[in-house]
Amino acid sequence: MWAGFLPELARRFRCWTLDLPGFGDSEKPPPSWYSIPNFTATILAFVQKSGVGPVRLIGHSMGGMIALNLAARYPGEVSHLVAINPVVTGRANLRPLARPDYSKRLLDWVLRFSPLVTQPLLSHPLGHRLGGLSFVRRRTEDFAKGTAESLLSSGRAIVGYDVSPLLGRIAAQTLVIVGDKDVNVPPSEGRLAAARIPAARLQLIHAGHLPTDDRPAEVLQTLQEFMA
């Protein structure tokens, strides 16, 4: 998701992008592990053990919730905070995925058969000429690296947490980016964060849940200006 931004951001900053537990190439913990406090502790441990803090921290969606939680609970570790379409109160269109009765079977089926259907189409030479398909290809590959249990457990972690009571504690310079067409996380979540965080700046972008895909140049410019 961040690969297209790193070359430009790395001109001025030392950049790290992390696969959270349960995602990408990171290990998949047991279902009982998944919670926003545990995700937060993982990021905090990385910051403290690597000695890179205080950091400029950027999080999207669930990552935005984790970033808000970290900045609120450990204000000395974060100098600048960017939350993109963050989940704040747990309101996100993930509640069906958090139902274990049928969702795990459905996700198992999708994870097993989706690559067999989509990869031949996405790997076709014509697909490389269509810019929009590169985002679809990346999302498909990222999704396939998860498991049904990791996806469901992450969904339950999101809808089971509310970071809004902590927002007043955030001392970092804060930018909240909200895509006004987001159907996954209500834009009201980001607006709430910007309203409750002291001196936070709200940036509305004509985009969906992934402004980094929909409006990459605008998001990059906004990040560069804010973190300068």
* CATH code of 180's domain: 3.40.50.1820
CA dist list (Å): 2 to 7, 18, 85, 119, 132: 10, 10, 15, 21, 16
Q: Is residue 214 in a domain?
A: yes
- pLDDT of the residue at 136: 66
- pLDDT of the residue at 175: 98
- pLDDT of the residue at 39: 98
Q: Is residue 215 in a domain?
A: yes
Residue 153: domain span:
6-227
- pLDDT of the residue at 102: 46
201 sits in which H/E element: strand 201-205
Q: Is residue 91 in a domain?
A: yes
Q: Is residue 92 in a domain?
A: yes
How many independent structural domains does the chain possess?
A: 1
Q: Is residue 188 in a domain?
A: yes
Which amino acid would we find at residue 193?
Answer: A
Dist CA 200 CA 196 (whole Å): 8
Q: Is residue 102 in a domain?
A: yes
- pLDDT of the residue at 115: 53
Neighbour-count burial for 162-175, b at 16+ CB within 10 Å, e otherwise: ebbebbeebbbbbb
Q: Is residue 90 in a domain?
A: yes
205 sits in which H/E element: strand 201-205
Q: Is residue 1 in a domain?
A: no
Residue by residue, pLDDT tens for the chain (228 residues) are: 888 899 999 999 999 999 999 999 999 999 999 999 999 999 999 999 999 889 999 999 999 999 999 999 999 999 999 999 999 999 887 655 545 554 555 556 455 555 544 555 445 455 445 455 666 667 777 777 888 888 889 988 999 999 999 999 999 999 999 999 999 999 999 999 999 999 999 999 999 999 999 999 999 999 999 998
With vertex at residue 203, the alpha carbon angle to CA 156 and CA 143, rounded to the nearest 5 degrees, is: 35
Q: Which of 53, 52, 78 is nearest to 67 (CA)?
A: 78
- pLDDT of the residue at 108: 60
Dist CA 67 CA 80 (whole Å): 10
